[in-house]
């Protein structure tokens, strides 16, 4: 018995919408098996994991607070992935943005002004963009693999942050805790509603997603990015400068991740710490794929992945399960998304018996462009 | 004069730092020669690390630990193989998800083992030989996995250039269509390579938790899987160069720590960042030389294969 893939003449639009749903369904089945094998009632566990967080006002707010950095980062990553530029260093660009954006409130703790927050946001975006530009420049000038360089730079950024909050930026009054001083009121993103958790930063994700949906759809730049990714030769003939596009998508993604970084630090946490992200930069990769590299899809996917973070916390408290289950779920979900994506480009059928050797084939030349 | 004790200590630590990289990278080299790019090295390494640690702790045998480490890495490569080989999924994205999945799974399985003291792989001890100054402990006092890593390099080099199966594997990596038309089962060859790569990555991870630091800590691979991937590029897909690269990186990692020990004041975070920065520098230097890369890069690397009917 073997699996046979028959290329479709055209990519199936119906499957493009259905396949993420199948992937989520399979992940839930995986959840049932996993919880049962851990000795927990699967129905109860799935309820606590995926439903209960949606039933309370505070956890709905928390859901939005966690989804917004994911959406911001994932929109940037989607733009990169569309151009076939594999930026997987968003965690580092997020961190670089958080560091650059924190320079003012840490060196001038008493400075209070309405221009402070905008300045912090701009510095964070610049920091993230510059950090994102490094792998792009190394790829353009030296053809160094951007997957490896962007990931290595993430490790470096996390170490720089660690050094800063344990060394020069440590709050002198913190009794040796590795944390910076708390940001003053004018360096903190205001709350949307008094006493809630949602700060102004959550609007960034929505605005950026809407903006990206509009620009990617109608502008020449959006088209150039898409052609560069899907048919590099055609892009060359069309006169699109590929190196400039690679640099641009990395800079955009870096700036958005940097913005997410400062929003997290200044809105949600209120200071710099060694750990400012539960892996948003990596989870955002899953968000981008689950959202079909489409900004509006990414908003939905961002909420869903944020739910896995919340559900993980709830399951830890209520069921005594490890919060590591979350990462397992997220990884499995990405597996399933990629597996189900095969349905978009191919008809899949099970065949029995052996294949005859020595048949000619050109089918996979079509495959290459869709990989 | 620098005394022999320090030289021995440095040489020994360089070997322990290099071996996990070498084991993982030699496996990935074979995988890539078959035309498959498995970016899930980090995930398979961490699976090997916890699998080996847990098995050694539960059975009291480091030999079983090593075996389980290899099996854990190979098992984790199975979902990757199904997606990439059978379902023609995007190799880059699938490799990434393998890493995310592996890190999550290992963290979960490893939770009960946090803080448990581990078992250390026994070192070879030949009376007379191991007692020699410097070369004794360095050449004759290593554990089995160090020797295995060199056997693997030699065997892989022979396999890829001298054996029929190895040449078949390279043919599959260079042109899967032609190989398919000659009646070679592309999928079967790639499956073997992917499983071998998984087992090697598992061994590399197992070396970390059974020899390098016999302890289980979360994320203990700390990006070594990615560095091993860079080593394969550095080696331009030649086994002996992988060994040279792995030892260069081991030396970079260790020299920082010895510099700190010698009283040079550098923040520890900068020393920890050295291997990552070195990876970037090396990638830049190697990738500039396009002719060198073009000669040996498997032509079908990363491209999905769908057999024509």
Whether A142 sits inside 8 A of B287 (CB atoms) is: yes
Q: A264, exposed or middle or buried, with CB in 10 Å at 0-12, 13-18, 19+?
A: buried
Whether B101 sits inside 8 A of A138 (CB atoms) is: no
Compute the 3-state secondary structure of chain B and give helix, strand, coil in percent, each to the nearest 5: 75, 0, 25
**Does B162 contact chain A (CB < 8 Å)?**
no
Domain ranges of chain B: 4-122+141-296
Q: Which whole number is the average pLDDT over A106-114? A: 89
- Of the pLDDT bands very low, low, confident and very high (cuts 50, 70, 90), residue B171 is very high
Chain B: residue whose CA lies nearest to A362? B308
Whether B304 sits inside 8 A of A6 (CB atoms) is: no
Q: Which whole number is the average pLDDT over A156-172? A: 93
Every domain of chain A with CATH number 1.10.3470 lies at 67-318
**Does B113 contact chain A (CB < 8 Å)?**
no
H or E stretch including B158?
helix B144-162
C-alpha distance from A322 to closest chain B C-alpha (Å):
7
A67-318: what fold?
Answer: ABC transporter involved in vitamin B12 uptake, BtuC (1.10.3470)
Q: Most A CBs within 10 Å: which of B21, B84, B101, as the mutation test of the A interface?
A: B101
- Of the pLDDT bands very low, low, confident and very high (cuts 50, 70, 90), residue B309 is low
What would the DSSP string read from start to end of A289-328? Answer: HHTTT-HHHHHHHHHHHHHHHHHHHHHHHHH---TTHHHH
Q: Most A CBs within 10 Å: which of B36, B225, B228, B267, as the mutation test of the A interface?
A: B267
DSSP A87: -
Whether A149 sits inside 8 A of B283 (CB atoms) is: yes
Out of B100, B233, B276, whose CB is closest to A156?
Answer: B276
> For A187-217, how does the pLDDT look when each residue is reduced to its tens digit (9 = 90+)?
888 888 777 788 888 899 889 998 988 888 7
Say whether A347 sits in a helix, a strand or coil. Answer: strand
Cβ atoms of residues B240 and B157 within 8 Å: yes
Residue B271 pLDDT more than 80? Answer: yes
- Of the pLDDT bands very low, low, confident and very high (cuts 50, 70, 90), residue A353 is low
CB neighbours of residue A75 within 10 Å: 32
**Does B303 contact chain A (CB < 8 Å)?**
yes
**Does A35 contact chain B (CB < 8 Å)?**
no
Whether B306 sits inside 8 A of A363 (CB atoms) is: yes
**Does B181 contact chain A (CB < 8 Å)?**
yes
Whether A159 sits inside 8 A of B273 (CB atoms) is: yes
CB neighbours of residue A23 within 10 Å: 22
Share of chain B above pLDDT 90, in %: 51
Output the pLDDT for position A354. Answer: 57
Output the pLDDT for position B106. Answer: 93
What rounded mean pLDDT belongs to chain A?
87
Residue closest to A310 by CA, chosen among A209, A207, A197: A197
What CATH number was assigned to the domain covering residues B4-122+141-296?
A: 1.10.3470.10
Output the pLDDT for position A370. Answer: 39
Three-state SS sequence of B9-45: HHHHHHHHHHHHHHHHHHHHHHHHHCCCCCCCHHHHH
Q: Which whole number is the average pLDDT over B198-207? A: 96
Say whether A348 sits in a helix, a strand or coil. Answer: strand
pTM reported for the whole predicted model: 0.89
**Does A325 contact chain B (CB < 8 Å)?**
yes
Q: How far is CA A233 from the centre of its chain?
A: 29
Whether B96 sits inside 8 A of A88 (CB atoms) is: yes
Output the pLDDT for position A364. Answer: 42
**Does A11 contact chain B (CB < 8 Å)?**
no
CB neighbours of residue B130 within 10 Å: 17
Out of B88, B102, B283, whose CB is closest to A144?
Answer: B283
Q: Which whole number is the average pLDDT over A113-131? A: 95
User: Cα separation of B4 and B255, whole Å?
Assistant: 17
What is the ipTM, given to two decimal places?
0.87
Number of H helices, E strands in chain B: 13, 0
Out of B223, B284, B305, whose CB is closest to A138?
Answer: B284
């Amino acid at each position: 018995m073997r699996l046979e893939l028959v290329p479709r003449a055209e990519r199936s639009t119906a499957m493009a919408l259905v396949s993420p749903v199948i992937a989520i369904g399979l992940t839930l089945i995986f959840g049932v098996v996993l919880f049962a094998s851990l000795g927990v009632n699967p129905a109860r566990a799935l309820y606590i994991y995926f439903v209960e967080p949606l039933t309370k006002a505070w956890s709905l707010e928390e859901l939005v607070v966690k989804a917004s950095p994911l959406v911001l980062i994932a929109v940037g990553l989607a733009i990169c992935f569309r151009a076939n530029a594999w930026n997987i260093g968003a965690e580092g660009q997020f961190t670089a943005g958080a560091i650059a954006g924190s320079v003012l409130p840490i060196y001038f703790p008493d400075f209070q002004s309405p221009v402070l927050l905008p300045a912090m946001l701009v510095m964070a975006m610049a920091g993230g963009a510059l950090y994102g530009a490094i792998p792009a420049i190394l790829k353009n000038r030296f053809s160094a693999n951007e997957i490896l360089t962007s990931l290595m730079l993430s490790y470096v950024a996390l170490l720089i942050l660690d050094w800063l909050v344990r060394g020069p930026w440590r709050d002198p009054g913190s009794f040796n805790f590795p944390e910076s001083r708390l940001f003053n009121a004018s360096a903190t993103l205001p709350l949307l509603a008094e006493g809630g958790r949602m700060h102004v930063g959550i609007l960034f994700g929505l605005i950026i997603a809407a903006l990206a949906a509009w620009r990617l759809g109608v502008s020449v730049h959006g088209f150039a990015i898409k052609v560069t990714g899907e048919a590099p030769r055609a892009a060359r003939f069309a006169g699109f400068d590929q190196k400039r596009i690679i640099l641009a998508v990395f800079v955009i993604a870096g700036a958005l991740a940097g913005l997410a970084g400062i929003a997290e630090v200044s809105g949600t946490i209120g200071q710099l710490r060694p750990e400012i992200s539960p892996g948003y930069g990596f989870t955002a990769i899953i968000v981008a794929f689950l959202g079909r590299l489409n900004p509006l899809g990414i908003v939905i996917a961002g909420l869903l992945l944020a739910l896995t973070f919340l559900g993980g916390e709830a399951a830890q408290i209520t069921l005594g399960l490890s919060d590591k289950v979350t990462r397992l779920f997220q990884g499995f979900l990405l597996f399933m998304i990629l597996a189900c994506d095969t349905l978009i480009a191919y008809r899949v059928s099970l065949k029995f018996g052996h294949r005859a050797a020595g048949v000619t084939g050109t089918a996979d030349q079509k495959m290459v462009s869709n990989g | 004069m620098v005394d022999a004790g320090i030289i021995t200590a440095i040489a020994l630590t360089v070997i322990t730092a290099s071996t996990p990289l070498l084991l993982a990278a030699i496996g990935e080299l074979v995988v890539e020669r078959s035309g498959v790019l498995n970016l899930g090295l980090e995930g398979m390494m961490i699976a090997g690390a916890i699998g080996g640690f847990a098995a050694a702790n539960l059975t009291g045998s480091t030999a079983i630990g090593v075996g389980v480490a290899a099996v854990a890495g190979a098992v984790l490569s199975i979902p990757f193989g199904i997606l990439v080989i059978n379902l023609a999924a995007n190799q880059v994205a699938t490799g990434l998800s393998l890493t995310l999945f592996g890190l999550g799974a290992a963290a979960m399985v490893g939770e009960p083992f946090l803080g448990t003291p581990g078992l250390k792989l026994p070192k070879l001890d030949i009376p007379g030989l191991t007692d020699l100054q410097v070369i004794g402990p360095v050449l004759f006092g290593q554990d089995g996995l160090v020797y295995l890593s060199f056997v693997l390099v030699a065997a892989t080099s022979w396999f890829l250039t001298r054996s029929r199966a190895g040449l078949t594997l390279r043919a599959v990596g260079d042109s899967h269509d032609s190989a398919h038309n000659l009646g070679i089962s592309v999928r079967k060859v790639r499956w073997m390579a992917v499983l071998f790569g998984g087992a090697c990555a598992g061994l590399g991870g197992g070396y970390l938790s059974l020899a390098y630091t016999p302890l289980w800590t979360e994320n203990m691979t700390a990006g070594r899987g990615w560095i091993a991937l860079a080593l394969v590029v550095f080696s331009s897909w030649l086994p002996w160069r992988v060994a040279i690269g792995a030892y260069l990186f081991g030396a970079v990692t260790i020299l920082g720590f010895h510099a700190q020990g010698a009283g040079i004041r550098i923040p520890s975070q900068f020393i920890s960042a050295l291997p990552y920065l070195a990876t970037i520098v090396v990638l830049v230097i190697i990738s500039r030389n396009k002719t060198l890369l073009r000669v040996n890069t498997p032509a079908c690397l990363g491209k999905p294969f769908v057999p024509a009917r």
